[in-house]
Structure 1
């Protein structure tokens, strides 16, 4: 797995010139996952989208588990560079960039969980985030935990906001909001606090995302200030 993720595995050298590359295989798998969800990805399905047989794919990648790891790191991509920003603004922008990545490839919410080896792009995202806290006065564990909390918030909001490919709900964010408003209009006495809050809330897709990021960063700023006093 490490050799695949980090590009250390030798490509087939015998026989005619290869019709595909590992990157090309991963890109085909990404197209399938973007359109239909991660469950739609299989070695046979990827082979059908490429000019090779299923058995030929095994010369490049042992199976779906390894393929998902490679395609996930490729889809995550390298983190955008925001070196010119102060730490707080840089971390918020970093988190919003991560949310945009999940928006572009919702299946990453499934493929990037659990204990697993990380590829160069995912580690680059972590490096970029931790780098912004390297001179903050926080110790290494606190720096890593700060990035974990930010990432967890982004993932949670993304999970709630997006309809994954293959979902059968068929409901949009507007559908849900309208249905909830109709329910509360007739059940206001049963849910008075919720009804009052909804009446004054300017709801939008990123409201919870940015509100949560700002509160997390408020807490970090207080901690960093305390360490420097």
Structure 2
């Protein structure tokens, strides 16, 4: 177990004689979150977190060894615990799970980068795994298949959140910008012109989150059908 994982998973040691610790990991993580929320992830340094707390960088090393450990507690604190899932329907439960994760990450898009750095999940992040897997618990899938299903959902959610945070044009804005071009060059790009026109007509613009989640869940349903027809 690396230092970051040990920090997240080892209960605090009983207090010893001497001065009471001035800070907690939660307070340090919250200071780092405040900096990242206001100035971005690149602004988060041990020095800046210490300044935010009114202490010195060296004083923080009493609580965590370095930046990797700070990243770990930041991510765990940023994700928090998932909302309770609706019961009785794995499809509805996983849709809710993906929507909840998207909302959390979209409020703190820098968490996407932290989640992609090599690390061992902490209690908060693992709670998301547990919730997602609980929705799949009654299905005749192997453990690896369940983990792969969550990986696909997480990848889709994180990719969209990252694009949105970077200011990628929405389909509606892109359609408005392309409208005069496609009006003039529709014969050169007939499929593009038709797709944008249809999306406007049926109100399906900017629906990539729902569309992607539905297709992944359709894939799970197809896999279930395969299992049902598999020869014993």
Provide closer, same or farther for how the CA distance between residues 177 and 198 of structure 1 changes in structure 2, counting only shifts above 3 A.
closer
Q: 2:146 maps to what in 1?
A: 143
1:193 aligned onto 2:188: no
Shift of 1:226: 3.7
Matches of 1:40 and 1:25 in 2, distance apart?
A: 15
- Stretches of structure 1 that go unaligned for 5 or more consecutive residues are 164-168
1:18-57 equivalences under 5 Å are: 18-57=21-60
Instruction: Tell me the secondary structure at the aligned position of residue 59 of structure 1.
Output: coil
Matches of 1:101 and 1:119 in 2, distance apart?
A: 16
The answer to whether the 8 Å contact 1:153/1:209 transfers is yes
The answer to whether the 8 Å contact 2:9/2:122 transfers is yes
Q: Taking CA–CA contacts closer than 8 Å with sequence separation of 6 or more, which of the two structures ends up with the larger relative contact order?
A: 1
Shift of 1:97: 0.7
Shift of 1:132: 1.5
1:33-84 deviation per Cα after TM superposition (whole angstroms, max 9, x unaligned): 1122111100111111112111111111111111011110111111111152
- Stretches of structure 2 that go unaligned for 5 or more consecutive residues are none
1:1-229 equivalences under 5 Å are: 1-10=4-13, 13=16, 15-163=18-166, 173=170, 176-201=174-199, 202=203, 204-205=205-206, 207-229=207-229
The answer to whether the 8 Å contact 2:32/2:44 transfers is yes
The answer to whether the 8 Å contact 2:175/2:196 transfers is no
Matches of 1:132 and 1:159 in 2, distance apart?
A: 26
Provide closer, same or farther for how the CA distance between residues 43 and 129 of structure 1 changes in structure 2, counting only shifts above 3 A.
same
The answer to whether the 8 Å contact 2:105/2:112 transfers is yes
Instruction: Tell me the secondary structure at the aligned position of residue 49 of structure 1.
Output: helix
Scaled by the length of structure 1, the TM-score of the pair is 0.87
Matches of 2:43 and 2:17 in 1, distance apart?
A: 31
What is the aligned-residue RMSD (CA, Å)? Answer: 2.2
Q: 1:166 maps to what in 2?
A: none
Q: How many residues align?
A: 222
